[in-house]
Amino acid sequence: MTSVTYSPSFFRRVVKEGRGGLGGLLIISLVIAALVGPWLVTFSPDAADFMTPLMPPSFPHWLGTDDLGRDVLSRILAGARVSLVVGSLSVGGAVVVGLPIGLTAGYFGRKTDAVLMRCMDVLLAFPGILLALGITAAFGASLFNTIVAIAVINTPTIARIARAQTLVVAAMDYVKANRALGFENWTIILRTVLPNILSPVLVQASLLLASSIITESYLSFLGLGVQPPTPTWGTMLRDAMNFVDQAPWLAWFPGAAIFITVLGFNLLGDSIRDRLDTKR
């Protein structure tokens, strides 16, 4: 088994593919919009204008206003920053915790494997969204607790993939040769095993970004995610429920933002996975 080098040519091949190119374009557009959003619009996402409630899309409010007269476009751009922060930090946390667990369980096996993976099975026994709801309900709804809750439900997935790949790599001849030469176990794990299992772990992490953004939207929609006045796509959808007949654009635009973001991450993740699959 050989490790995959993430060279510039590798990413160029991914982007040149239809799915990878479209996914990358969607994600880059989202990141740019989230970063330069405050300079793109002249309205604050929290600024209420009771003279212009429920205004349909028009100039100067390109996506209309909500029931408090707040600009929908500025709130969607602010929500994009929240979604990217929650998604990246929660998945990053899951990798930081789950990767060492999977490495340790797969390499040492036996009792170590049994104990660590049974702990992961306990987390997997709960539906992810219910576990996230339980964590945020128990510790309070906030940005930090939302990130922790989503990281917890993603950790078992990363751990199981890392363990499966470690079992394969640990049985390779070059790993056995390192043992025969007297290298310490952790030296073998960090220098030989880890580089060879990173590819599938990173692909799974890219796919988990999409599900993490959806989970954050679920939690915010139910009032257990990021709390007002911080705008999120989930809270925008929740607030739009009362005005679906009168102002349907309040649900259209945040829903479209979630759809486009998740589509972009899934397309890019699938493209990278296909490029790494040597059997295709």
pLDDT tens-place string over residues 42-70 = 888 888 888 888 989 988 888 999 989 99
State the amino acid at position 90 in one-letter form. S
Q: What is the largest distance, in Å, between two alpha-carbon atoms of the chain?
A: 78
Asked if residue 9 has pLDDT above 60, the reply is: no
Residue 115: per-residue pLDDT: 96
In this prediction, residues 229-245 reach a mean pLDDT of 91
Pick the CATH number of 8-276 from 1.10.3720.10, 3.40.47.10, 3.30.70.1230, 3.90.550.10: 1.10.3720.10
Task: Report the DSSP beta bridge partners of residue 71.
Answer: 65
Residue 3: per-residue pLDDT: 45
Q: Please check whether residue 229 is in contact with residue 184, taking contact to mean a CB–CB distance below 8 angstroms.
A: no
Q: How many CB atoms lie within 10 A of CB 118?
A: 10
Asked if residue 154 has pLDDT above 70, the reply is: yes
Q: Please check whether residue 175 is in contact with residue 169, taking contact to mean a CB–CB distance below 8 angstroms.
A: yes
pTM over 0.75: yes
Residue 277: per-residue pLDDT: 60
- Residues with Cβ within 8 Å of 9's Cβ and at least 6 positions away in sequence, in order, are none
